[in-house]
Amino acid sequence: MSLQKYYARFREDRRAKTDDRSIVKMEHIVTRFPPSPTGSLHIGGARTALFNWLFTRNRGGRFILRIEDTDVERSTDESVKAIMDAMEWLELTWDEGPYFQTNRLDVYSEYAKKLVDSGNAYWCQCTPEELEMRRNAAMAEGRKPKYEGACRTKAFGPGPNRVLRFRAPDTGTTVLRDIIKGAIEFDNSELDDLVIVKSDGIPTYNFAVVVDDITMGVTHVIRGDDHVNNTPRQILIYQALGEKLPEFGHVPMIHGEDRSPLSKRHGATSVMEYKKMGFLPEALVNCLVRLGWSYGDQEIFSRSELIEKFTLENIGKSPSIFTMEKLLWLNAHYIKEKRPEELVSPLRPFLALRNYTDKSDAYLAGAIRTLQTRSHTLVEMADAMRFYMVDEVEFDPAAADEFLTPEIGKVFELIISELSNLETFDENSLETVFRKIVADLGIKFGKIAQPVRVALTGATKSPGLFEIIEVLGKKSVVERLQKGLKYTRER
RNA sequence: GUCCCCAUCGUCUAGUCUGGUCCAGGACACCGGCCUUUCACGCCGGCGACGCCGGUUCAAAUCCGGCUGGGGACGCCA
């Protein structure tokens, strides 16, 4: 599929969902999620997107997807797709976009020109190498490694290998009034003249975001804590442009178990990896939202509840650690909660991966129902499903050895004949038959349960006997019992 | 190094703004028990934290200061 068509697909999607918003109060809130397409959507980015999305849906605003691809070297179409796929899986629908910064170069030039004309920007021809050296020297001497303004007064015009720098004030303070963190004051002397247009004519991040947020009418900038230090620079640019500031809210970071930034060595970082591991999107969403945000003691939230209850005020200030423990529990919860039929299609890919022969939706749903309280993930479920899917089960040697004994053979014969004559093959009648057999033989049900279980599933652990028998059906059950019987005779 | 942020059970967190109702509540994980045809589910119980020091106060998890620890930023990356 071409990228164009791909985007169009999402556009269609959006149109369909736009009307939902009219039922919510409109407050003209505009937010955005601006990933840079240099990889897949990861846990941290997903949570930022989720917070923005929830905030916007709660307030009845517009949520924009903007692709920040000004790093031409590292940006790829593949990443754009990966990010949109992940957002689609999490159902983080956007109302506008995706916009691409590389398509908006004219807009940035226009704003760059404004800054040059007003004396707030100047051309600089210091080379990256020189800059690097000066930075290192400053660090070595314990000084803040900032640009000292060598080209400030040279009045260069644009030219090859020249960059445009923003002329930052040397004195005074800039205050960031953060919705989440409160007021943070920065000494302007800490800031330097940052590059806003690179020598290839492409704007840098700090400039492009500001121009985009201004021109797209963004009212609330909600992003990761790692952007706090960029914010005073951006505020200065807003001011130089004479524009009104948006509200800023910086959400605390998510770390790995050793409190270092979340990375591959902490396990899966990409949202789609969690899909592959058999997690349900609602579980990931529920897990992610509780990292930094809370609503009293409540742990489980439906999507509509989240939209209703989400506010920025309930976001905490301290960073959190992402572990899979709660996610696993949440996933198990949602697996239990769903109707078996709803799990059929999400489970199918996992079944296919195991090369099981295909079964009907109804059969699958029946099998799923027996495994819902026993699975933390779809992977676990697909694995546990094996005995439902194969024609012939292979006995676990230890289990067969312990339970498929010669003595149990006679019992099997009786069960086989009773079951063969049974008309209605449901849990209730099954239970009646077994209780009768047990009573006739004068033994405890526990005596025969494990042997039958081994014959039917090959293992000592499984869902309840009667549910298994009902799902498997008479033919398969009788065959398996006969195979078990054969084993007891031939051992 | 400089600047900025953060700090409650192992983890996610409530409580901190508006000190007393908190010898700190919930959830996950872990441990024990019950239920039981196995395994799970479920239910009941247990373990377990206000980083440290000082100050303010009749009273501090809550306010103030310092320390320590962790994180972030300091790019012609975003």
Nearest nt to A36, CA vs C1'? B78
pLDDT exceeds 50 at position A323: yes
> pLDDT confidence of A329, banded at 50, 70, 90?
very high
Distance of CA A356 to the CA centre of its chain: 28
Per-residue pLDDT reduced to its tens digit, A288-313: 999 999 999 999 999 999 999 999 99
Per the structure, the residue whose CA is closest to nucleotide B1 at C1' is: A142
pLDDT exceeds 90 at position A265: no
pLDDT exceeds 50 at position A8: no
Contact A304, A286 (CB under 8 A): no
Residues 6+ apart with CB under 8 A from A207: A108, A111, A112, A166, A196, A197, A237
* Bases of strand B lying below 7 A from some protein CB: 1-8, 10-15, 25-29, 37-42, 70-78
| Average pLDDT in chain A | 91
Per-residue pLDDT reduced to its tens digit, A333-348: 999 999 999 999 999 9
Q: What angle do CA A448, A453, A458 make, to 5 degrees?
A: 135
Per-residue pLDDT reduced to its tens digit, A58-95: 999 999 999 999 999 999 999 999 999 999 999 999 99
Q: What angle do CA A86, A87, A89 make, to 5 degrees?
A: 65
Distance CA A180, CA A231 (A): 14
What's the CA–C1' distance between A259 and B67, in Å?
21
A164: β partners: A123, A197
Q: Are strands A173-178 and A182-187 parallel, antiparallel or unpaired?
A: antiparallel
pLDDT exceeds 80 at position A277: yes
Nearest nt to A227, CA vs C1'? B73
Q: What pLDDT was estimated at residue A27?
A: 55
CB neighbour burial string for A320-350, b if at least 16 within 10 angstroms, e if fewer? eebebeebbebbbbbbeeeebeebbebbbeb
> Of A11, A10, A48, A13, which Cα lies nearest the Cα of A271?
A48
Distance of CA A167 to the CA centre of its chain: 40
Distance CA A90, CA A284 (A): 8
What's the CA–C1' distance between A146 and B55, in Å?
39
- Which of A190-199, A256-265, A452-461 bottoms out in mean pLDDT, i.e. has the lowest? A256-265
Residue/partner pairs of A82-88 with CB below 8 Å, 24 or more apart? A82/A39, A82/A40, A82/A41, A82/A270, A82/A272, A83/A35, A83/A37, A83/A40, A83/A41, A83/A45, A84/A6, A84/A10, A85/A272, A86/A40, A86/A41, A86/A46, A86/A270, A86/A271, A86/A272, A87/A33, A87/A41, A87/A49, A88/A10, A88/A13
What's the CA–C1' distance between A287 and B66, in Å?
37
What's the CA–C1' distance between A229 and B18, in Å?
31
The single-letter code of the amino acid at A373 is: T
Nearest nt to A460, CA vs C1'? B38
> pLDDT confidence of A139, banded at 50, 70, 90?
confident
What's the CA–C1' distance between A329 and B46, in Å?
21
pLDDT exceeds 50 at position A17: no
Distance CA A188, CA A375 (A): 56
Nearest nt to A384, CA vs C1'? B39
What's the CA–C1' distance between A453 and B37, in Å?
9
φ, ψ dihedrals at A310, nearest 5°: -70, 125
Contact A201, A105 (CB under 8 A): yes
Q: N- to C-terminal Cα distance for chain A?
A: 58
Q: Which run of H or of E encompasses A224?
A: strand A220-224
A182: β partners: A178
Q: Which run of H or of E encompasses A330?
A: helix A324-337
Strands in A173-178's sheet, in edge-to-edge order, are A182-187, A173-178, A247-251, A220-224
Catalytic residues of A: 264
Q: What pLDDT was estimated at residue A194?
A: 94
Q: What pLDDT was estimated at residue A136?
A: 86
Nearest nt to A195, CA vs C1'? B76
